[in-house]
Amino acid sequence: MAKVSHASHMMQLGDYKFSVSSAAFSKLSYATEYRWKNQDSQTEGKSPVQQFVGVGAQTITLDGTIYPQLVKDGLSQVDNMRAEAAKGKPLTLGYVKVNGKSDASVGRILGKWIIKSINEERSLFLNDGIPREIQFQMTLERYDGNTK
């Protein structure tokens, strides 16, 4: 049987913590582009020669649902995410993972990331206009920091 992590949050981006008690993501998508450049040269098949020039953009997309009446500061969770984005700087992304037999969990830092977009959809409104469900999607892009 797999070990159960007792971490207080799923993942942390800057000061914002994704957790069941705030905003939990239900889907994490990770994409990496690989860059190839066409070289103009004569080949027998008349196709251009391809040259690998490096790893391209790396993105993470988080999809989740917030039930405002069930979590602390439920209606302001997406605003809190936007506050992190508005800092206008790369943020450290990390999470807790299982590590070995004696140490149940350890933090893993995934490097610096920038928030590219945050989308929010509110639904299932009560009489006073308060939503019972908030769907969110956040797109992150790895920040390399090299300015060659």
Output the pLDDT for position 107.
Answer: 72
Output the pLDDT for position 78.
Answer: 95
E strands of the chain, at which residues? Answer: 11-13, 16-18, 24-39, 49-66, 91-99, 103-125, 131-142
E strands of 67-143, at which residues? Answer: 91-99, 103-125, 131-142
Say if CB 63 and CB 57 are below 8 A apart: no
Output the pLDDT for position 99.
Answer: 56
The list of the chain residues with pLDDT below 70 reads 1-7, 42-45, 97-106, 146-148
Please give the model's pTM, rounded to 2 decimal places. 0.78
For residue 14 the two structure tokens come to 């800057």
User: Any idea what the Cα angle at residue 95 is, between residues 61 and 66, rounded to 5°?
Assistant: 55
Question: What average pLDDT does the structure give for the chain?
Answer: 85
SS3 142: strand
Amino acid at 134: I
